[in-house]
Amino acid sequence: MKKIYIVICLVVLMLFQYKEVITVDVPLTLDKRVIVIDPGHGGLDNGASFKKVNEDDLNLKIAFALKEELESKGANVYLTRTDDQDMTRRDYMYSKDDDMYLRALKIDAYKPDLFISIHLNSAHASAWGSQVFYYPKSKNGKVLATHIHNSMKETTGTKKKIMASDFFILRSTASLGVLIECGFLSNANERGQLKNRSYHKKLAKSITFGIENYFSSLSIKNNE
């Protein structure tokens, strides 16, 4: 009996000894970068709406997926909103001016390395594809948009090009940022994708990869 006990003890000891410790090291490529995600619309402002699918709800879901992905790379991430409310948090009257003014202030208050405004598009049924917008006078904005666009192309298959735009959120913020239209709710195929949680993760990964590429392009430039 004693012998069996000793053998069992030995086997247990050996198992402990040979238990491999598997650790996955995720390189913290965005370590300490401060990034603000701005999920467009919210509250009384649903944004684009098609067949009971509201843009503001999906913007928020994509923003959460993006937050998770950016944080896994070490970034400090803030959202302009985390629930179904606009910046005024009023439920009796919506003012685009008030909402946008407060949104721009909020983004700049974090003094971010960059911000990403998330939106979804709507037009005629055959329009589709993601598109990244940057402020015309922002050199870095254009570089950032290019990296994100190139990376997103792999996921969304878009044929669209990056575009300069004086959207309020780009024009009125002191921070570097881009606005991403992730796809068209008015397109049946893209609407199906945009409702899907696994597609949110794919979008998040591709946007994050674009941001990583943007920062590494800066460090290459600095080393030249």
Nearer of residues 40 and 183 to Zn ion, judged by Cβ: 40
Query: Is residue 40 part of the contact set for Zn ion (CB under 5 A)?
Result: yes
Nearer of residues 71 and 98 to Zn ion, judged by Cβ: 98
Minimum CB separation of residue 48 from Zn ion in Å reads: 6
Q: Which segment (16-24, 38-46, 129-137, 197-205) binds Zn ion by CB under 5 A?
A: 38-46
Helix (H) or strand (E) run with residue 35 in it: strand 34-39
Q: Which segment (24-32, 37-45, 78-86, 199-207) binds Zn ion by CB under 5 A?
A: 37-45
Nearer of residues 177 and 213 to Zn ion, judged by Cβ: 177
Cβ atoms of 187 and 121 within 8 Å: the answer is no
Contacts of 128 (CB under 8 A, 6+ apart): 158, 183, 184, 187, 189, 190
Query: Is residue 81 part of the contact set for Zn ion (CB under 5 A)?
Result: no
Identified binder of Zn ion from the candidate list 119, 147, 149, 191, rule CB under 5 A = 119
Minimal CB distance residue for Zn ion: 119
Q: How far apart are CA 133 and CA 164, in angstroms?
A: 6
Cβ atoms of 199 and 193 within 8 Å: the answer is yes
Q: Which segment (25-33, 44-52, 71-79, 197-205) binds Zn ion by CB under 5 A?
A: 44-52
The pair of structure tokens assigned to 168 is: 């309020």
Contacts of 14 (CB under 8 A, 6+ apart): none
108: how many CB neighbours lie within 10 A of its CB? 16
Query: Is residue 47 part of the contact set for Zn ion (CB under 5 A)?
Result: yes
In the complex, the residues that contact Zn ion under the rule CB under 5 A are: 40, 47, 119
